[in-house]
Amino acid sequence: MEKFEDSQDAMARVALLRTQIEHHNELYHTQDAPEIPDADFDVLLVELRRLEAEHPDLVTSDSPTQQVGASTINTFAEVVHQLPMMSLDNAFDTDELTAWADRVRRRLGDEASEPAWVCELKFDGLAVSLRYEDGVLVQAATRGNGKVGEDVTPNVRTIAGIPQELALGAPPVLEVRGEVYMGLQAFADLNARQAAAEEKTFVNPRNTAAGSLRQKDAKVTATRNLSFWAYALGEMIDGPTLASHHEMLTWLGTLGFPVNQKTKRFENFSAVIDHVNHVEKIRHDLDYEIDGVVVKVDALGLQTGLGSTARAPRWAMAYKLPPEERTTTLLDIEVSIGAGGQATPFARLEPVFVGGSTIAAATLHNADQVAVKDVRPGDTVIVRKAGDVIPEVVGPVLADRPASRKPWRFPTECPTCGVALVRPEGEAATFCPNHACPAQVRGRLEHFVSRGAMDIEGFGEQRVDLFVTEGLLSDVSGIFMLDFDRIAAFEGFGELSLNNLSAAIETAKQKPLGRLLFGLRIPHVGTTVADLIADACGDLDGLERATQEDLEAVEGLGPIIAASVYGWLRLDHNQELLQRLRVAGLNLNAPQASGDQQEQTLEGFSVVVTGTLETMSRSDAKAAILVRGGKSPGSVSKATTALVAGAGGGSKLGKAETLGVPVLNEIQFVELLATGQLPA
C-alpha cells in the first residue's frame, strides 16, 4: 500500500477515498444496488482508516470511518433509534482477530481472568430493530445511519419468522435487533419465478433481501419469503437481569424469536480460532449466506466495561471470511478449443484473490453469455467464486467504462488451426469442425490419460503438449506406440521416469472396456454410461456388432445415447483408431465378460458417491455399485439408500443429513458392496 510522505498527498487521497466510500455507502444502504462487491468496499475503508491513523490531523467527525452506513434517507418515515445501531469492526485474518482479543484483555486489566467468547455467524442481510410494547410489535426500523433509520413496520409484519406478539413474560418495552435475510432456497425460488415470467433475475440474496424489505408496497415484501435471526437487544425497560450474551439469546428464543443454532460459546480463544477456521469450511453447507463470524465477549458486564467507539462496540469483532466477489480488470476475451471442438470464450483477468484462491481466468461459456453480460476487454468486472463452484464473471462495472469501448465479437476462425468456426442452428455452442485441429487432439489425449478414464500416471498436460508438439503423438493409440528412444533425449526424462511412464502405460492397457469407452470421449458417454455399455456388450466386438436398437434396449441408455454411440463407431477415423488400439494389445473386455457375474447385492439400491476416496476413484466406486445391480446417480434425494463420502465431500453431505440419508465411510461402503447391508 502506498505511503504518503507529503501530507498534501495524503490529504488528497483521504478526500478521494471519502468521496468514493460515501458514494458506495449510498448505493449499498439507500439504493440496495451496490456497484462493487463488499470486499472491494472494505479495501477502501481499510486504506482510509490506515491513512487517518498515520495522519491523525486529517480525522474529521464526518469521516465515513466514524459513521455507520449511509446518511441519506428517503421514501420511508424516519425512526430515531433510542440506542444507536452500531456497526462492527472487521478482522481479515486470524492474526487481526487475535490482536483484538489481546486489546480486549488489556482493557479488562491483566488481573482479569480470560473472558468467555460467543461466536455467531455473520449473516449476510440487513440489520433491523424491532420494537415491542407490552409484547406487541409496534415498530420495525432499518439501521440507516445508526442514529436514524427507516420505518419498515408494514414490510416486517409480512416476515413469517418475526413474532407479532411475544410469549408471556415479555417486558413492557423491548427492542430486539437482528438480521433480515433471504435464504438460498427462497432466492432460488424467486429467481425461478422471475425467469418463468421472463423478468430480470436477481444477482445475490443480500441485495435482494434489502430491496425486498424496502418496498413501498408491503405486499411485494410478502412474496419474497424473507427470514430473520435475532442477535442483540436495543432499549429494554423492566426486563429480566441477564448476565451474558448467550443467556440473552436463550431468553429471546423463549420469547419466540428465531435464534441461530450454530452460535457457540468458548472458554478460551484458541477454540475461537479453531471455530472460525471450521466455519470457513462449512459455509457452503448452510442454506443462507454468511460473510463471516462475529466474535463477542459473552459477559454483559464486561461488554459495558469495554464500551464502544463512535462506530462499533469494542466487545465484538467481525471476522470476515475470504471474499467471494471482487472486482478486477478484464484483460482480454480469448477462445479455447475443447476436445470435442467446442469453442469456449473465456475471460483473461488481472489476477485477483477471491473465494479462497487467485483467479486469472474464468469461463464465459458461449457467445450468447458474453452478449448477455456485455463484458468488454478493458472493463472493470465483478468476479465471483463461491465454494466448489467454478469462478464466474458476474458483469461489468458500467460506471468505469469509457463510451468509446466497443462490444466484443466472437472470432470467425479457430484460433488454433484457422479453420472457419461453425455454430449449428439452434445451438448455443460454436465449434471448430476440424477433427485434426491440434487443440482438439491435445484435448482428447488429456481426457484419455486422465484419472476418470485410463488414469495413466505421469502423463499430465505438459507431457501431452510436449509429445504433440514434437510430433510423437497425434491420437490416443499413439500412447501405446511411443518412441521411448526419442523421449529419452528430452530434458527431464531420466531412466526412472521413463520406466515409470512405460509401466503406467502397460497398466493402462489392462483397464476394463468401460474405462476405454469413456476415455474415447464418445459424445454423451460419461463413466456410468460407458460401464453400462461395456457390461451389456461384454467386449468391443460385441459393441461393434450391436445395432442401434440393441443399444437403445440397454437399461439406462436412451435413443440419444444409442444414436451417438452407434454413429461414432461408424465414422472411418474412429474405426481406424479402434483397429490401432486392437493392434496395440489393449484389453477390450468388460470385467464380467468371463462369465462369473457379480452377486447382485445392491439390487434396488441407489448409492451416491461424493468426495475423494482413498482406495478407489469415484468412477471405480460407481462401477462397483452398477455391477452389483445398484444405481449411482449424481445427486442425493429422498430415494437415496446411502451416501458414500470421501474427503472434501461438500454440499451433498449437508443434503444427506437434512434428508436423513445414511452417510458411509469407505470401509462401510466396501462392506455394503459385499453384503448389501447398511451398517447398524
**Interaction site with ligand IVH (CB under 6 A):** 86-88, 120, 122-123, 127, 143, 179, 231-232, 294, 313, 316, 318
Q: Which H/E stretch holds residue 234?
A: strand 226-237
Catalytic pick from 3, 122, 219, 631?
122
- Cβ proximity to ligand IVH: between 120 and 379 the closer is 120
Strands (DSSP E) along 96-156, which ranges?
Answer: 117-123, 126-133, 136-142, 148-150
Evaluated on CA atoms 228, 184, 212, 203, the torsion sign reads positive
- Cβ proximity to ligand IVH: between 88 and 551 the closer is 88
- CB 294 to ligand IVH: min, Å: 4
- CB 124 to ligand IVH: min, Å: 7
Chain residue whose CB lies nearest ligand IVH: 127
- CB 53 to ligand IVH: min, Å: 20
Backbone conformation region of residue 350, classed left if phi is above 0, alpha if psi is from -120 to 50, else beta? beta
- Cβ proximity to ligand IVH: between 183 and 313 the closer is 313
- Cβ proximity to ligand IVH: between 36 and 513 the closer is 36
For residues 258 and 82, give the distance between their C-alpha atoms in angstroms, rounded to a whole number.
Answer: 23
- Cβ proximity to ligand IVH: between 18 and 122 the closer is 122
- CB 517 to ligand IVH: min, Å: 51
Which of 302, 282, 298 is closest to 290 using CA atoms?
A: 282
Phi and psi at residue 586, in whole multiples of 5°? -75, 150
Q: In the structure grid, which three cell numbers stand for residue 243, read together?
A: 448476565
Q: How far is CA 199 from CA 25, 31, 195, 368, in A?
A: 27, 20, 6, 18
Active-site residue, 509 included? no
- Cβ proximity to ligand IVH: between 249 and 441 the closer is 249
| DSSP letter string, 426-442 | T-S-EE---TT-HHHHH
Q: In the structure grid, which three cell numbers stand for residue 89, read together?
A: 469492526
| DSSP letter string, 444-499 | HHHHHHSTTTT--TT--HHHHHHHHHTTS-SSGGGGGG--HHHHHTSTT--HHHHH
- CB 141 to ligand IVH: min, Å: 13
- CB 352 to ligand IVH: min, Å: 23
Which of 129, 136, 141 is closest to 172 using CA atoms?
A: 136
Q: How far is CA 11 from CA 18, 66, 158, in A?
A: 11, 17, 47
- DSSP summary character for residue 30: I
- CB 69 to ligand IVH: min, Å: 8
| DSSP letter string, 35-54 | SS-HHHHHHHHHHHHHHHHH
In the chain, what is the straight-line distance between the N-terminal and C-terminal CA atoms, in Å?
A: 58
Report the catalytic residues: 122
